[in-house]
Structure 1
Amino acid sequence: MTVLPLASRARRAAFVSAVCAGLVAAATSLTGCSSGGGEDPDAGTNGVGKLSASKIQGKADKAAGAASAVRLSGTVVSKNHTYTLDMRLKEEGGTGSVTSRGQTFQLLRIGEELYLKAGSEFWTHKSGKNDGTSGQADETAAAKLDGKYVKVPEGDPAYQQLSGFTDKDKLLDGMLTLHGRLAKGARGTTGTQRSIKITGDEGAGGTLSVSLEGKPYPLRLERGGHAGTLKLTDWNRDFPLQEPSKDEMVDYGKQLPTS
């Protein structure tokens, strides 16, 4: 009387064991034989997420320095003044726009030649005297510069300041440095790219998002002290730099007109 139940139990046990083995095999094939209890966050990345914060910073700096071109856009706050930038930069020069104190002007640098283009209101000189004559003269002179590329002489005090906005290496070196103790932050996405954050002094010294795909380019910078936020895109995407034609340009010689 006991043989059949025992045999049935044995068959059932064998059947259950076979089913369990099949389920385990299926699960293993679906999960890619994961034995670590979780998905590897660095799977399919460039691997910089495994490095220390300082090494990630070094890799990002090296990638940025070696890149042939970049687009930099966003805001920079300096001495309680906000600049809005949209610049495309490469070794030979740069081009783009800067907005400051409600005025937007275009910059173009080709080698050592720097040009500034703005509307007539940019060039209108607001003097302390208001006798009507000087104001009218200023407006007349400014109208001639409206929409023209004005060549900025290398000896003019504005040259160094303005050319800095068009210098890829100087601009990136000055802005990408995080201050204070470095630490790794969270992984996530910046735009459409997987990225990892590194911070200086827990964000007080800045936060930099670095790409986890392809080369570890800097993608977004939140400057410390609420000093602006910048996006870095179009790495290695070339763009044309063309000297303005003679009818588009005004050359004042050694000094810019007073503005």
Structure 2
Amino acid sequence: MTAIPQGRTRRAALVSALCALVVTGTGLTGCSGEDPDAGTNGVGKLPAAKIQARTRAAADSADTVHLSGNVVTNGRTYTLDMRLKSDGGFGSVTSQGVTFGLLRIGAQLYLKANAEFWNHADGSGKDTATADKLDGKYVKVPQGDPSYKRFSGFTDKDVLLDGLLTLHGTLATDGHHEQSGVRTIRITGDKGAGGTLDVSLEGTPYPLRLVRAGDAGTLSFSDWGKGFALAEPEKSETVDYGKQLPTS
């Protein structure tokens, strides 16, 4: 048997280690020639338009989702951390350094914020008595109040997903990636200028990460289909102003 030179053995070991690093770190292949879609749900082999249709159908059919990240709209950045289901949701929204909580059960929307939020809600910063009364309370938002339309969308799974899960321009695939330990296939609109969306290659092809077009925010999606309870706040923690909030 012909002996293999030691230098060649070391080079082979180094190449093997580098290949392992590339595959583990980026999800790309090329060293071993292995099929990156082996053992996956198979959507990675589909055209981008079909991947988008599959992931949108998966999102629509899921009962629940945890959505977090930033959305830029009308020049304002909103940081969202929301758990959503078909009949409501709850979580927090931060904008311009102010954080407030939202809870919707059916048609009833509650807004929970501190005194500073309420003290400046009308732009005057003068009604400290009302602000103190509302501090930390679940305030019922009447459906006829302008705030209802403004905030209820943040708690509506269908509304949010309809507005967010859209890529603009010509669709294409952009390789295999990984999000939070889950293998993904990435699809893009106009080579990324129209946004990018990472779709799970494991199990149901749920959307996992969205980068919106025009630097309009980045969102992560998780806990698809994982149930959670929605409960009415205690009466002692609730304030009802009737048909209109004291500030809008």
TM-score category (smaller protein): 0.7 to 0.9
Which residue in 2 is equivalent to 1:161? 150
Match of 2:83 among 83, 88, 113: 88
RMSD: 1.6
The answer as to 2:102 corresponding to 1:107 is yes
Q: What is the rounded CA distance, in whole Å, between the counterparts of 2:178 and 2:47 in structure 1? A: 19
The answer as to 2:214 corresponding to 1:225 is yes
Q: Offset of 1:127 from its aligned partner?
A: 7.1
Length, aligned pairs only: 218
Percent of pairs with identical residues = 65
CA spacing shift, 1:51–1:127, aligned 2, 3 Å = closer
| Secondary structure at 1:165 match in 2 | helix
TM-score w.r.t. structure 1 length?
A: 0.81
1:167-210 CA distance string (max 9 Å, x none): 00110111001010000001011111000100001111110000
TM-score w.r.t. structure 2 length?
A: 0.85
The answer as to 2:124 corresponding to 1:124 is no
Letter in 2 for 1:230: L
CA spacing shift, 1:205–1:237, aligned 2, 3 Å = same
Which residue in 2 is equivalent to 1:144? 133
1:63-101 CA distance string (max 9 Å, x none): 000001000000001122100000000011000000011
* Contact 2:122 2:247 (C-alpha < 8 Å) held by counterparts: no
1:186-244 CA distance string (max 9 Å, x none): 10111110001000011111100000000000000000000000000011111110001
CA spacing shift, 1:145–1:228, aligned 2, 3 Å = same
CA spacing shift, 1:128–1:98, aligned 2, 3 Å = closer
Alignment of 1:178-217 (within 5 A): 178-217=167-206
* Contact 2:89 2:156 (C-alpha < 8 Å) held by counterparts: yes
1:49-73 CA distance string (max 9 Å, x none): 0000000000000000000100000
The answer as to 2:225 corresponding to 1:257 is no
* Contact 2:121 2:247 (C-alpha < 8 Å) held by counterparts: no
Match of 2:72 among 58, 72, 77: 77
CA spacing shift, 1:126–1:88, aligned 2, 3 Å = closer
Could you list the runs of 5+ residues in structure 1 that have no partner in the other structure?
1-11, 13-36
Instruction: Please list every run of at least 4 consecutive aligned residues from structure 1 whose deviation after the TM superposition is greater than 6 angstroms.
Output: 126-129
CA spacing shift, 1:124–1:65, aligned 2, 3 Å = same
Please say which structure displays the higher CA radius of gyration.
1
CA spacing shift, 1:176–1:128, aligned 2, 3 Å = closer
1:88-145 CA distance string (max 9 Å, x none): 000110000000111100000000000000000000047787xxxx82xx11210010
